[in-house]
Amino acid sequence: NPKGVKAIHLLPNWEAEQLKSYLNLLKREGWQASTIAMYRSSNLRFCKYLQRLGIESFSSLTTTILKDFNLQDKHVTPEGKAAYNCRIRNFLIYLYEQSLIDDPYLYKALPTFSAPRTSIIQTLSKEDVASIWATNPDTLSPKALRDYAMVCIGLTMGFRASDISGLRFENIDWKQRSIKIVQQKTGKVLTMPMPI
């Protein structure tokens, strides 16, 4: 993200050098580029706040500064705030490991939890399901047939959408009439009988 890189260079040197060093560490550890971008964004916001306060060293950080940062830091959702705080906490741990802050527990001043959220889960009605099963697969185009098969797998086998979209022919055991996948969310191997 060129914009993020430029923003780092606008920080005072004492902040910029440590943040670049931390992001380079994440890169060497093999973190995904999107994850590193989230760490950059979160910690840039934190460093800019320190800059506005006139802080001149990470050693000047206090629990009060961290709590005040958390209170003024606005997000659309509580989950967004928790995600940013988690990444800033990890940066603070890194700073402690570099002997740039003295308190090993300073990072605990930023909360990691978010407010619970309830959402209404939409399910198919009996009529919707009946309409799906009433579809004649012989009348469908190849793309529509693929989509129909994906919906049928979801209805009969309970796979997550992300697992269904990742299915390949090698996942299907035609003799045993089963589908074997590695679940994207959990990383666990799952073998399920395949309905006729």
pLDDT 10s digit of each residue in the chain, 196 long?
Answer: 445 457 888 899 999 999 999 999 999 998 888 899 999 999 999 999 999 999 999 999 999 999 999 889 888 788 888 889 999 999 999 999 999 999 999 999 988 765 566 667 778 889 998 999 999 999 999 999 989 988 888 888 888 888 888 888 899 999 989 999 888 777 788 888 887 6
Tokens 């309970």 belong to residue? 158
- Residue 183 token pair: 């679940």
Q: What is the CA radius of gyration of the chain?
A: 24
Give the CA distances from residue 116 to residues 11, 113, 191, in Å, rounded to whole numbers and listed in that order. Answer: 35, 9, 33
CB 180 within 8 A of CB 191: yes
pLDDT of residue 1: 45
pLDDT of residue 196: 67
Give the CA distances from residue 177 to residues 10, 117, 120, 155, 173, in Å, rounded to whole numbers and listed in that order. Answer: 60, 39, 35, 17, 6
pLDDT of residue 144: 92
SS3 130: helix
Distant-in-sequence contacts of 184-188, Cβ < 8 A, 24+ apart: 184/160, 185/160
The 8-class DSSP code of residue 181 comes to: E
Q: Is the Cα dihedral 153, 156, 162, 166 positive or negative? A: negative
pLDDT of residue 159: 84
- Residue 89 token pair: 């906490």
SS3 50: helix
CB 188 within 8 A of CB 180: no
CA 137-140-145 angle, to 5 degrees, is: 75
Strand ranges of the sheet holding 189-193, from the earlier edge strand across to the other edge: 172-173, 178-182, 189-193
Q: Are strands 189-193 and 178-182 parallel, antiparallel or unpaired?
A: antiparallel
